[in-house]
Structure 1
Amino acid sequence: MEGARPRPVDAVAVLVAAALTTATGYPAPVLLVLVAAAVPLLWTRGHPLAVAWVSAGTAIVLPLSAVLWAVPPPAAGTPIWPPACVFAAYGAMAYAADRGVRRWLPVIVLSLAVLALPGRSELVLRTEAAIALATLYGMYVAVNDRLRRELAERAERVERERLAGEMHDVVTHRVSRMVLRAGSLAMSAGDERGRAVAEEIRAIGCEALDELRHMVALLRRGTGEGFDLGLPLPDLRPLVTESARAGQSVELVVDGTPVPVSGVVGRTAYVLVQEALADVGKYAPGAEVRVRVAYLPGEVRIHVRNTPGRPDAWITAGDWGLGLADLRERVKLAGGTLESGGDGAGGFRIEATFPTSPQ
């Protein structure tokens, strides 16, 4: 809160402190000093410790003046003393940037100085209770403000994660396919010029992927903690339900205790299962599918295995979106490995292994 501007409520605090000053029973010169000591409350938000020390100094000087210059003590009916003590204690707790001992020192000095009031035990008790309540409420406000800031930062981090994830998913997938197609074209081109153009396209695509990774790294650093929120894999049950509605028989099995994975691993795993189920629906209608997620030390494995399809089966399915080469490239970009092939019984299997996030 350092440097924060005064607000109307701060002016109200000055007026309240000035009103309390009139109940102290001090002569006019002393009242002027007390009113002057209340004016700094306007800057409590920007300089809370300085304001607290002014109040503590007032609490020390006036009892001394009663001894040295025979200034009478505050009247017995005074609500609290010094009048600005409650606001000063609250400000030190609520607005001080230093959360260590420094913010406690002026409050402690203020509390001890109040004990020096001669013959005003009831006033001392009221003031100490008021200071204690103001201190506790100031601590509550400080914790509440810090919590709100942390929640706002987390929401911003989640949004950054979403945007970075979408950029990574969409752009990386398309550019990776372009690079793969360009590489295939370079190998199959019949003339040197065609091969050169295809190779140039492939090189440009690789540069684009490098620049994309660099941009994602900047987004990670921009949050201060990276956009890996350490969440488990996305829920795969909606994919199973969707496949069941299309006529597929899908079983989902989860082994082990779910552990956090990075955001890119979670999205890639979800796309892997989604595309694998779509592939079964297109190329092996009527097949039974088993999706198994196994959490192992330091990694998570996803198995998608299907039995041979029935030739007479009819199933509704969308077009296959990713080829195995594209899917393998996407898994590789997420830091994982992908194996695929026949299962020896006429079916097909896909197995991907991803690293888990550090605990």
Structure 2
Amino acid sequence: MDGARARPIDAAAVLVAAGLTPATGYAGPGLVIVLAGALPLLWMRRAPLAVAWICAGTALAVPVLALVVPFAVPLPAEGAPLWPPAAPFAAYGAVVFAADRRPLCRWTPVLVIAFAVLTLPDRLELITRSEAVIALAVTYGLYVSARDRLRAELAERSERIERERLAGEMHDVVTHRVSRIVLQAGVLALAAGDDRARAAAEDIRATGCDALDELRHMVALLRRGTGEGFDLGLPLPDLRPLVIDSARDGVPVELTVDGTPVPVSGLVGRTAYLVAEAALADVRKHAPGAEVRVQVRYAPGNVRIVVRNTGGLPDAWVAAAGPGMSLPDLRTRVELAGGTLVCRTLDDGGFRVEATFPTS
């Protein structure tokens, strides 16, 4: 993994630890031991626990050797800035880069390092300073670990929601088209005058039914185990992006939301968004310069979306509108979602689109 490769900052950690080593007052064998604990920091991303244990071993070995052979390996100098110099980096690496390990495996070398510092006799200031720096390194490591974990979870959640949204869109669009094929094939089978035509129509209808079953199965696989997004049951999608786009295209829109938002199914949410989108596209196409109001009203058991516009102004500027969706197709989509669609011309020359969906 790229995250396990040594980076320039790891080399900087080695240089800092090695640079602090002469200040400990060591020379000869003691200097070699302390430097041996600093060099492995270059691999603290790839083997954080091994680096932490090497640092812990160094911190324990020096006091023990100072008792056994004090002439060869003395205790660190009282004015040393930190002991051991690699301790904060090793502790940080164990907390951050071994976050996926069991807590006992991750925290044991860190605790051993902290305990080894306490074994220094007659070095209270050095002990206090070293323990404080190690504690700060561990605290910052916990913060970085939690931040990285949160980022990964948010990225994974966004990916699941996007996959589920695509599955829902695919289900809605393809199911609508294939369902029309199945219905037309059924009508053709009933109206056919000869057996061959009837058999061919029935075969088309059966094939369409099989395709619908396979599509539902595939969508279920895409949504399985996510527990996120549209299948979770959320209030209607935010319509403000449509309002912003419409204003940018030359048709200002007033948006109001009445009532307490309640969860709706994914199909209802997507269809409601499509109704508002199609209605605003028709206003830009047929009534440039009109005053438009979009109202979302939550009531017990249903949610209603009303898009109402006044008559347009022939000379008004408006961006070119796309083909949009025809009212029959829009009505079919609304009915597939269990709702009703009412469209009518108003006395002032405007138009009103009203879609009502169940919230259960």
TM-score by length of 2: 0.73
- Deviation of residue 234 (structure 1)? 4.6
* 8 Å CA contact 2:94, 2:110 repeated in 1: yes
Q: Does structure 1 residue 148 correspond to structure 2 residue 151?
A: yes
Amino acid of the structure 2 residue aligned with 1:44: M
Do the aligned partners of 1:186 and 1:196 also contact (CA within 8 Å) in 2? Answer: yes
With over 3 angstroms needed to count, the CA separation of the structure-2 counterparts of 1:294 and 1:21, relative to structure 1, is same
Report the Cα distance in structure 2 between the residues aligned to 1:118 and 1:182, rounded to whole angstroms: 92
Whole-Å separation in 2 of the counterparts to 1:34 and 1:43: 17
| Counterpart Cα distance in 2 of 1:237 and 1:9 | 42
Question: Which residue number in structure 2 is paired with residue 199 of structure 1?
Answer: 202
CA offset digits 1:129-158 (Å, max 9, x no partner): 211121122112112212222232233234
- In terms of mean alpha carbon deviation, does 103-112 or 127-136 score higher? 103-112
1:321 aligns with 2:326: yes
* Matches for 1:231-246 after TM superposition, within 5 Å: 231-235=235-239
Equivalences, count: 335
Give me the whole-angstrom Cα distance separating, in 1, the residues matched to 2:64 and 2:173. Answer: 75
Change (3 A) 1:84 1:190: same
Tell me, yes or no, if the aligned pair for 1:303 and 1:351 is still in contact at 8 Å.
yes
Deviations along 1:235-285, one digit per CA (max 9) or x if unpaired, are 39969x98xxxxxxxx99865421233433211233457779999xxxxxx
Return 5+ residue gaps in structure 2 as ranges.
Answer: 247-253, 283-292, 309-322, 343-351
Deviation, structure 1 residue 128: 1.3
1:211 and 2:211 correspond: no
Amino acid at match of 1:9: I
C-alpha contact (below 8 Å) 1:63/1:116 kept by paired residues: yes
Could you tell me whether the CA contact under 8 Å between 1:2 and 1:46 is conserved in 2? no
Q: 1:163/1:103 Cα in 2 relative to 1: closer, same or farther (>3 Å)?
A: same
Match of 2:106 among 95, 103, 108: 103
SS at 2:21 equivalent? helix
The residue type equivalent to 1:42 in the other structure is L
The aligned residue for residue 34 of structure 2 is 34
Percent identical pairs in the alignment equals 57
- Give distance in 2, aligned partners of 1:185 and 1:83: 85
Structure 1 residues 225 and 126, CA gap change in structure 2 (3 angstroms): same
How far residue 355 of structure 1 moved from its aligned partner, in angstroms, is 5.0
2:267 to 257, 264, 269: 264
Aligned position for 1:52: 52
RMSD (CA atoms): 4.6
Decide whether the 8 Å contact of 1:189 with 1:195 is kept in 2: yes
Encode CA deviations 1:67-117: one digit per residue, 9 max, x unaligned: 233242101232111111010111122111237354333222222221221
Q: 1:169 to 1:145 in 2, by over 3 A?
A: same
How far does residue 8 in structure 1 lie from its aligned partner after superposition?
A: 3.1
TM-score (norm 1): 0.73
Deviation, 1:180, is 1.9
Distance of 1:236 and 1:22 partners within structure 2: 63
Q: Deviations over 1:299-344 (max 9, x none)?
A: 54448799xxxxxxxxxxx8973648x856x5676xx534689xxx
Q: Which amino acid aligns with 1:337?
A: G
- Is the 8 Å Cα contact of residues 92 and 107 (structure 1) preserved in structure 2? yes
CA shift in 2, pair 1:48/1:259, >3 Å = farther
User: Are 2:65 and 1:65 equivalent residues in the alignment?
Assistant: yes
**1:180-233 Cα deviation digits (max 9, x unpaired):** 222222223333333222222222222222222222222223x84455363534
Question: Is contact 1:18-1:83 (8 Å) kept?
Answer: yes
Q: Give the equivalent residue in structure 2 for 1:246.
A: none
Task: Name the SS of the counterpart of 2:260 in structure 1.
Answer: coil
Residue pairs, 1:249-260, within 5 angstroms: 256-260=259-263
Name the SS for the 1:168 alignment partner.
helix
Judged with a 3 Å threshold, the aligned counterparts in structure 2 of structure 1 residues 351 and 83 are, in CA distance, closer, same or farther, namely closer
Judged with a 3 Å threshold, the aligned counterparts in structure 2 of structure 1 residues 271 and 102 are, in CA distance, closer, same or farther, namely: same
| 1:57 aligned partner, one-letter code | G
The 2-side partners of 1:51 and 1:143 are apart by 22
Q: Give the 3-state SS of the residue equivalent to 2:9 in structure 1.
A: helix
Structure 1 186/158 Cα, relative in aligned 2: closer, same or farther at 3 Å?
A: same
1:306-317 mapped onto 2 (5 Å cutoff): none
2:126 aligned partner:
123
Indicate how the Cα distance of structure 1 residues 43 and 277 shifts in structure 2: closer, same or farther if over 3 A, else same. closer
Query: Once the two structures are superposed, what CA deviation does each residue of 1:19-49 show, in whole Å capped at 9, x if it has no partner?
Result: 2222222231121122222222122112222
SS in 2 for 1:104: helix
Aligned to 2:287: none
Q: Paired residue for 1:18?
A: 18
Cα gap change, 1:44/1:303 in structure 2, threshold over 3 Å: closer, same or farther?
closer
Query: CA separation of 1:237/1:188 partners in 2, compared to 1, >3 Å: closer, same or farther?
Result: farther
